[in-house]
Structure 1
Amino acid sequence: MEISVKTIQHLAHLSRLQINETQAAQYQTDMQKMVSFIEQLQEVNTDGVEPLLMLSDASTSLRADQLNESLSATDALKNAPSHDQQYFKVPTVIKK
């Protein structure tokens, strides 16, 4: 699969990134190397190979859940830069 500069520019547009021509050329080179590596991996014969669920035999130890005291609303709001009686006030992010 060939990665073109046009493809890189399209991906940048979809990602809402602004890149210049030099960056686009570098990204094209890097992406082409990644695609070539993946194509090379697809040629490897994996017949009879069991899929791995974990890369090591070590098991993860999980801690037991413990109930602890939580902050009261007053304590939680005490250091907030802006709040009313019950809620944090934050700037509007999404406008209707």
Structure 2
Amino acid sequence: MTIDEQTVDKIAHLARLKLAESEKQAMIKDMNKILGFMDKLNEVDTTGVEPLVYMMPEPNILREDVVKQQITTAEALQNAPDHDESHFLVAKVIK
């Protein structure tokens, strides 16, 4: 697979990026290098290699959750710029 200008345009649109023509060409070059590196990794013989799930063989030791401090809803809302009786109010960001 190779990255072309249409692919970069689509990715830029999805990422909400505006790229200049020179930036597009640099992006094409960089993305093709990344794909080339991935192709090199696919050449490695991994026969008999177990998939790595965790970096360490030991299980993760987690501490018990302990409630140390509780605040009331009124205290939580005290410094909020905008709120009603029980919720933070924020500006709408989705159309």
In 2: Cα distance, 1:34 partner to 1:64 partner: 42
Residue aligning to 1:77? 77
Residue aligning to 1:50? 50
Residue aligning to 2:9? 9
Unpaired segments ≥5 residues, structure 2:
none
**Offset of 1:73 from its aligned partner?**
1.2
What's the CA shift string for 1:36-56, capped at 9, x where partnerless?
011111111111112222223
Unpaired segments ≥5 residues, structure 1:
none
In 1: Cα distance, 2:17 partner to 2:38 partner: 25
Residue aligning to 1:39? 39
Aligned length: 95
Residue aligning to 2:23? 23
**Offset of 1:58 from its aligned partner?**
5.5
**Offset of 1:59 from its aligned partner?**
4.8
What secondary structure is seen at the aligned counterpart in 2 of 1:61? Answer: coil
In 1: Cα distance, 2:89 partner to 2:53 partner: 44
In 2: Cα distance, 1:78 partner to 1:33 partner: 52
Residue aligning to 2:92? 92
- Which moves more between the two structures, 10-19 or 58-67? 58-67
| TM-score between both structures, scaled by the size of structure 2 | 0.83
In 2: Cα distance, 1:91 partner to 1:53 partner: 40
What's the CA shift string for 1:56-75, capped at 9, x where partnerless?
34554312111334210111
In 1: Cα distance, 2:54 partner to 2:85 partner: 48
| TM-score between both structures, scaled by the size of structure 1 | 0.83
- Which moves more between the two structures, 55-64 or 34-43? 55-64
